[in-house]
């Protein structure tokens, strides 16, 4: 699916104009500085997090090495499974956050940040609630 088709589908899903969707994405992309990110994927926690009502923060990294380093430092994944990374566009990350209510925020990790174990990386934080408010304003415009 082309980027324009994905953007049009996003605009239709949230009942905003294509131009409003494009503006939102361009603003976030300008702040982030890149279009594609890497997310470390684990098998555990998905259904359990949903069932427990626990909120989650989605972490996205600019490089595969940064994602793996963070995962290894924090003991994510298991010894028996290969580390898995998925590459997402910024739009795909926004869609994932909006579709999954358990994801309360998205952090686009800074390149130069290598936090100690147990700490989230610095970076651009996008709150789900603020994104939904912004989409609602665009819908009414």
Q: What average pLDDT does the segment 66-93 reach?
A: 83
Predicted pLDDT at 140: 63
* pLDDT value at residue 49: 45
Q: Tell me, yes or no, whether 16 lies in a domain.
A: no
Per mean pLDDT, which range of 16-20, 36-40, 48-52, 131-135 is the poorest?
A: 48-52
pLDDT of residue 141: 60
The predicted pLDDT at position 1 comes to: 74
Structure tokens at 58: 């989605």
Only one residue has tokens 């934080």, namely 125
Q: Is 62 helix (H, G, I), strand (E, B) or coil?
A: coil
The two tokens of residue 114 are 């290598």
Q: How far apart are CA 121 and CA 59, in angstroms?
A: 8
Average pLDDT, the chain: 85
- More confident of the two residues 5 and 80: 5
In a domain, 12, yes or no: no
In a domain, 2, yes or no: no
Determine, yes or no, domain membership for 24: no
Q: What is the domain count for the chain?
A: 1
On whether residue 59 sits in a domain, the answer given is yes
- The answer as to whether 9 is a domain residue is no
Q: CATH code at 50? A: 3.40.1350
Q: Is residue 139 part of a domain?
A: no
The domain in which residue 72 lies consists of: 34-134
**pTM for the full predicted model:** 0.83
Report if residue 128 sits inside a domain: yes
Interval 27-71: pLDDT, tens: 999 988 899 999 987 655 444 444 557 889 999 999 999 988 888
């Amino acid at each position: 699916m082309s980027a324009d088709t994905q953007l049009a589908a996003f605009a239709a899903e949230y009942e905003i104009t294509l131009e409003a969707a494009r503006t939102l994405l361009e603003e976030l992309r300008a702040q982030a500085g890149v279009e594609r990110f890497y997310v470390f994927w684990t098998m555990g926690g998905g259904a359990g997090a949903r069932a427990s009502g626990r909120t989650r923060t989605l972490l996205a990294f600019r490089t595969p090495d940064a994602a793996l380093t963070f995962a290894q430092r924090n003991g994510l994944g298991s010894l028996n499974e290969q580390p898995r990374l998925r590459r997402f566009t910024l739009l795909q990350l926004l869609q994932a956050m909006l579709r999954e209510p358990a994801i309360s925020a998205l952090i686009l990790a800074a390149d130069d940040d290598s936090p100690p174990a147990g700490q989230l990386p610095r970076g651009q934080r996008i709150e789900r609630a603020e994104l939904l408010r912004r989409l609602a304003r665009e819908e009414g415009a």
